[in-house]
Structure 1
Amino acid sequence: MAIGFDYGTANCSVAQLFDGVVKQIPLVGDDLYVPSTLCAPNSETVSEYLFRCKEIKPVNASGEALLRRAIKVNHEEGLDVRSDDVKFGHEALELYLEDPKDVYYVKSPKSFLGAMGLRDMQLSFFEDLVCAMMSNIKNRTESHLNQEVTQAVIGRPVNFLGRGGDKSNIQAEGILRNAANRAGFKDVEFQFEPVAAGLEFESSLTEDKNVLIVDIGGGTTDCSMIQMGPSWAQQLDRTDSLLAHSGQMVGGNDLDIYTAFKCFMSEFGMGTKRHSGLDIPLIQFWNPIVISDVQAQRSFYAHDNLAVLQQFLREAKEPEKVSRLLTLHKETLGYSVIREAEKTKIALGDNEHYRANLNLLSETFQVDVTKSSLEAAIEPPTSKIKALVEEAVVQSGIKPDMVFMTGGSARSPILTNAVKSVLGEIPVVRGDFFGSVTSGLARRADLLFR
């Protein structure tokens, strides 16, 4: 049986085509989406969990070395890995928020699969993270359908995050493919996410159109100019209909990061002077919240950095603010700050003012944010999204007949207006913000594996 599988930066979802109608499959109760998050007692738990609890073995030497190291570390720590030690989605987030210091928590591993310069064991670890998440989704899907699922079309961005260009894309897709195969998917194909979203929209067209798909997800924005309609709908090879692609790792996560950085971090001491007259380096306020950058997170939360922050506290003219930065480090609260930034972004889609609540466990304080300050804060990623829209139009050499906007972040009126500012009076159609990609992948899976 074949499914469309959207392994998203923000959420995972699956769907299947039944008698010409796409049906998304509930994964947790009635919920169609599982947040792309995972938590465990420590990072080593994940590899041993796959081996002991899921009977999923490593497939290469670096994976075997990673597993041996994980078993050794867990044995030394007296940790007997059980099936309920690894949690996913909302369960993972809730456990992390209860005890952030003593829980290994990761959000959106898809964001760093294309990072260059990683060692073989690091690549194997990322593969284990993705495999654990995919195995969880596969098991939940099979439980709902009451039958085995072995074929999948998986969505991927036009470009993964990474400075390696095609090398980054090849590495990231390879990790996804290996993880899916190990999780039990025997036949795996990939489809660009904006193209998948277009395939779902195409099912509603009664005549051929040139459509610009703008897919603004949690981690990526992808734009595709596609010829679509009744003439193309059932064709397996859509090469000739794909006129242009543009894509970059900029999306909802970046909006949240910039919101936190510009609107919140002054309350943690950003802009605070030291008695010497110098500022505290901005990198100390950026690294804890840039959750898509593994190296930045490691740099901020490193033990050595604690001494640096303590020195800044002693030198600060406003120590009460800088002390919050130390709390952020000691309690590993970067994800909590980003979560409140996301809530702020969503609230200001419909309101002019929002009072954010930042919980540092030992202290809760409020920050007032206006829509205009939010717009100023997210201007850098907004400008990148506008540039991607322009790039796709220039590449194709034609003006679209219409624009189809999808992806969770496309809900933002700020981003909708930004896209309209590039394209003028061209009609903008807004589809299922979360389900379009999944539905299109299901249609593609039905064509390929029927």
Structure 2
Amino acid sequence: MSIGFDFGTANCCVAHLVNGKAVPIPLVGENVYLPSTLCAPNAESVSEYLFRCLNIQPSDETNQAVLRRAIKLNREEGLDVIADDVKFGHQALELYLQDPKDVYFVKSPKSFLGAMGLRDMQLSFFEDLVCAMMSNIKTRAEAAIEKEFSQTVIGRPVNFLGRGGEASNIQAVDILTRAAKRAGFKEIEFQYEPVAAGLDFENTLTTDKKVLVVDIGGGTTDCSMIQMGPTWRGKLDRKDSLLAHTGQMVGGNDLDIFIAFKCLMTEFGLGTKLKSGLDLPLIQFWNSVAINDVQAQRSFYAHDNLPTLRQFHMDAMEPEKLNRLVKLHQETLGHGVIHQAEMAKIAMSDQETFTTLIDLVSETFNVPTSRAGIDAAIENPMNKIRSLVQEAVTQSGIEPDVIYMTGGSSRSRALTSAVASVLPNTEIISGNYFGSVTAGLTHWADLIYR
């Protein structure tokens, strides 16, 4: 039996076909969406959890080496990994927020896929992370409807990471494929996420149209210019209808990061000076919240960065603010700041101001934010999204009859306005912000596996 699998940057969702309709499968109670988060006692416990608790074997010699190292380190720490040690979704975030210093927390591992310059051991660990999340979702879905799934179509962005080009895409798809096989899927295919969303929208069309699908997700924005409608519906060969694809790693996570950086990090010393009159280096503030950049996070949270931060604290004109940056490092609280930035972003959809609550364990304080301030903070990612829309139009050589916007981040009033500014005379239709990709993947799975 097949499912459509939206392994999203922000949330994961799966669906199966029931009487010709894509029906999402509940993953937690009645909730069909599971946040893409994982929390464990330490990073090494993830690999041992797969082997010891789920009986999932390593995929190759490098993966075996990752497992051996994990078991060795866990024994040295006196840690016996049990199934309940690894949490997913909201449970993972709650555990992290309760005790951020003493747990390993990862949000959106999909954001790391395609990162270049990493060692084989690091890539194998990413595979373990993805496998743990996929296995958890597959198990939950099968328990919910009491059926086993062996076939899946997994959504993928047009480009995982722009810096690595096609090499990044190949690496990312390889990791996803190996992880899915280890999680128990026998047959695995991929489909571009904007194409999947378009396939769902196509079911509503009574005439053929040229549609620009703009999918703004948690980690990436993808645009596809597609000819769709009754002429194309149900066809397995769609290559002549796919006119252009553009995509870049810019999405909801980037909005959260820019909001955190420009609106919240001022309370941690951003924009202040040292007693010498020099500015504090921006990179320390950026790296602390750049949760989708492996190297940035490693650089900020490295043990040898702490003396540097403490020296800045001693030399700062406003040491009380720099002390917060030191605490952020010591308590590994970057994800907590990003969570507050996300809350502010969501609130600005229907209100003008919002007060974020920053909890540093040793200190709790409020930071007021405004719609104008947040709109200014996200101008950089908005410009990137405008460029992707324009590039899709240029590549295809046509203008669309309609723009179909989907993806959780497309709910943002500012982002809708940004897309509209490129094609001001084109109708914009908003779809199922979270479910259209999953539905399209499910219909495509039924078509190719029937």
CA distance in 1, matches of 2:347, 2:178: 39
In structure 1, the residue corresponding to 2:313 is in which secondary structure?
A: helix
Aligned to 1:212: 212
In structure 2, the residue corresponding to 1:212 is in which secondary structure?
A: strand
CA distance in 2, matches of 1:162, 1:140: 33
Q: Deviations over 1:133-185 (max 9, x none)?
A: 00000000100110110000000000002522000000000000000001000
Contact 1:28 1:34 in 2 (8 A): yes
For normalisation by structure 2, the TM-score amounts to: 0.99
CA distance in 1, matches of 2:226, 2:257: 31
CA distance in 1, matches of 2:71, 2:14: 33
Aligned to 1:442: 442
CA distance in 2, matches of 1:422, 1:117: 35
Matches within 5 A, 1:345-424: 345-424=345-424
CA distance in 1, matches of 2:97, 2:236: 46
Aligned to 1:165: 165
Aligned to 1:71: 71
CA distance in 2, matches of 1:266, 1:90: 29
Does structure 1 residue 55 correspond to structure 2 residue 55? Answer: yes
CA distance in 1, matches of 2:252, 2:348: 14
CA distance in 1, matches of 2:255, 2:424: 24
Aligned to 1:182: 182
Contact 1:214 1:223 in 2 (8 A): yes
CA distance in 2, matches of 1:442, 1:143: 19
In structure 1, the residue corresponding to 2:175 is in which secondary structure?
A: helix
The RMSD of aligned alpha carbons is 0.7
CA distance in 2, matches of 1:311, 1:95: 32
Q: Deviations over 1:308-335 (max 9, x none)?
A: 0110011011111111001100110000
Matches within 5 A, 1:207-356: 207-356=207-356
In structure 2, the residue corresponding to 1:55 is in which secondary structure?
A: coil
CA drift at 1:17: 1.3
CA drift at 1:279: 1.3
Instruction: Identify the range of structure 1 (180-189 vs 115-124) with the bigger mean alpha-carbon deviation.
Output: 115-124
CA distance in 2, matches of 1:276, 1:64: 52
Does structure 1 residue 130 correspond to structure 2 residue 141? Answer: no
Q: Deviations over 1:229-263 (max 9, x none)?
A: 11111101111100000000000000000001110
Does structure 1 residue 93 correspond to structure 2 residue 93? Answer: yes
Identity of aligned residues (%): 68
Deviating beyond 6 angstroms after TM superposition, the runs of 4 or more aligned structure 1 residues are none
In structure 1, the residue corresponding to 2:4 is in which secondary structure?
A: strand
CA distance in 2, matches of 1:339, 1:249: 19
In structure 1, the residue corresponding to 2:414 is in which secondary structure?
A: helix
CA distance in 2, matches of 1:8, 1:228: 25
Matches within 5 A, 1:83-162: 83-161=83-161
The 1:337/1:308 distance shift into structure 2, 3 A limit, reads same
Contact 2:162 2:248 in 1 (8 A): no
Which amino acid counterpart does residue 338 of structure 2 have in structure 1?
I
Contact 1:112 1:162 in 2 (8 A): no
In structure 2, the residue corresponding to 1:4 is in which secondary structure?
A: strand
Q: Deviations over 1:400-449 (max 9, x none)?
A: 00000000000001010111111011100001000000000000001011
CA distance in 2, matches of 1:251, 1:229: 28
In structure 1, the residue corresponding to 2:197 is in which secondary structure?
A: helix
CA distance in 2, matches of 1:148, 1:347: 40
CA drift at 1:107: 0.5
Contact 1:224 1:245 in 2 (8 A): yes
Which amino acid counterpart does residue 388 of structure 1 have in structure 2?
L
Q: Deviations over 1:377-414 (max 9, x none)?
A: 00000000000000001100011000000000000010
Which amino acid counterpart does residue 82 of structure 2 have in structure 1?
R
In structure 1, the residue corresponding to 2:164 is in which secondary structure?
A: coil
CA distance in 2, matches of 1:163, 1:416: 26
CA distance in 2, matches of 1:237, 1:124: 34
CA distance in 2, matches of 1:377, 1:278: 24
CA drift at 1:353: 1.3
For normalisation by structure 1, the TM-score amounts to: 0.99
Contact 1:115 1:162 in 2 (8 A): no
CA distance in 2, matches of 1:301, 1:126: 19
Which amino acid counterpart does residue 339 of structure 1 have in structure 2?
H
CA distance in 2, matches of 1:29, 1:231: 40
In structure 2, the residue corresponding to 1:189 is in which secondary structure?
A: strand
Which amino acid counterpart does residue 240 of structure 2 have in structure 1?
D
Q: Report how many residues are paired.
A: 450
Aligned to 1:82: 82
In structure 2, the residue corresponding to 1:288 is in which secondary structure?
A: helix
Structure 2 unaligned spans of 5+? none
Q: Deviations over 1:11-34 (max 9, x none)?
A: 000011111111111000001111
CA drift at 1:361: 1.5
Contact 2:193 2:437 in 1 (8 A): yes
In structure 2, the residue corresponding to 1:164 is in which secondary structure?
A: helix
In structure 2, the residue corresponding to 1:163 is in which secondary structure?
A: helix
CA drift at 1:93: 0.4
Contact 1:289 1:338 in 2 (8 A): yes
Structure 1 unaligned spans of 5+? none
Aligned to 1:16: 16
Which amino acid counterpart does residue 20 of structure 2 have in structure 1?
G
CA distance in 1, matches of 2:141, 2:427: 37
